[in-house]
């Protein structure tokens, strides 16, 4: 080891927007970006107390701000970017982390139209609006010393790549994010905007808690993961931050699997 030398993931002086940031993967991502020197804006839907506590934990509104904003349609995504950008007058990274996974099994022949439409609205339509507004903002800004104008990280899923029986709405919406990542990279890399995707598997969050609540449920899930356990939110937040740093400067259009090897054995 070279004495006196260290390697750090930093995002100093930049601004990140993290959707669904009040808990789980989103909250860990907010914490990590703040620790890396960024100012962070995040949205939440209903968890007001958790959002306020996270802002306080991250040093108050000089470093972190919470916005109550539903994300179920394109116009709501555009509105969030506008509000977030106004906080500090710029935007350097968009982390699309929010999403819904209906926990009950829904066979395709009986899945309600309302469930399909709701899942698509939250997991896909709002993402379209977020991307439209964020990319437009990135293109208005000067490139930094590394030639970057902005970073996009979409959070997809193992289900996006291998499907998920009885959860076709979720798998389809997350699969679309993978195609979006590839399309955005081809379109935007030449403009100094990177677009990448992190694909978690099972992670210990509130969203997955119902499925992990029983011993039988845990045994079934752990049996599909070569590492024999679910991930932690911090294990997803780290790769998200990495993709926004100069260490990932030559990466764009990548689908980074963070799922204990589960995607390879499905």
Give the other-Cβ count within 10 Å of 178's Cβ. 17
Of 11, 33, 138, 170, the catalytic one is: 170
Sign (positive or negative) of CA dihedral 239, 139, 188, 133: positive
Q: What whole-number distance in Å separates Cα of residue 75 and Cα of residue 197? A: 23
Q: What whole-number distance in Å separates Cα of residue 208 and Cα of residue 102? A: 10
170 is catalytic: yes
Written as six digits, the tokens of 75 are 């116009």
| Cβ(5)–Cβ(33) below 8 Å | no
Reduce the DSSP state of residue 111 to 3 states and report it: coil
Q: What whole-number distance in Å separates Cα of residue 96 and Cα of residue 26? A: 9
Q: Which active-site residues does the annotation give? A: 170
């Amino acid at each position: 080891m070279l004495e006196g030398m260290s390697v750090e993931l930093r995002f100093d002086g930049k601004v990140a927007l993290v959707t669904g940031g009040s808990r789980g993967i989103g909250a860990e991502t907010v914490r990590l970006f703040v620790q890396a020197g960024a100012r962070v804006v995040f949205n939440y839907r209903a968890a007001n107390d958790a959002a306020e506590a996270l802002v306080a934990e991250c040093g108050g509104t000089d470093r972190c701000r919470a916005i109550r904003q539903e994300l179920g349609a394109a116009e709501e995504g555009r509105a969030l970017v506008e509000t977030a950008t106004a906080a500090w007058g710029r935007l350097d990274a968009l982390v699309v982390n929010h999403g819904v996974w209906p926990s009950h099994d829904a066979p395709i022949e009986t899945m309600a139209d309302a469930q399909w439409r709701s899942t698509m609205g939250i997991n896909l339509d709002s993402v379209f609006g977020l991307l439209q507004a964020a990319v437009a903002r990135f293109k208005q800004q000067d490139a930094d010393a590394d030639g970057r104008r902005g970073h996009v990280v979409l959070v997809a899923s193992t289900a996006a790549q291998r499907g998920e029986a009885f959860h076709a709405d979720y798998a389809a919406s997350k699969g679309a994010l993978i195609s979006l990542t590839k399309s955005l990279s081809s379109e935007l890399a030449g403009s100094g905007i990177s677009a990448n995707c992190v694909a978690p598997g099972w992670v210990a969050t509130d969203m997955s808690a119902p499925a992990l609540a029983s011993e039988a449920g845990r045994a079934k899930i752990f049996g599909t993961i070569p590492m024999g356990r679910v991930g932690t939110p911090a294990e997803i937040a780290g790769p998200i931050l990495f993709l926004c740093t100069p260490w990932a400067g030559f990466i764009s259009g990548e689908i980074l699997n963070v799922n204990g090897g589960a995607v390879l054995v499905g």
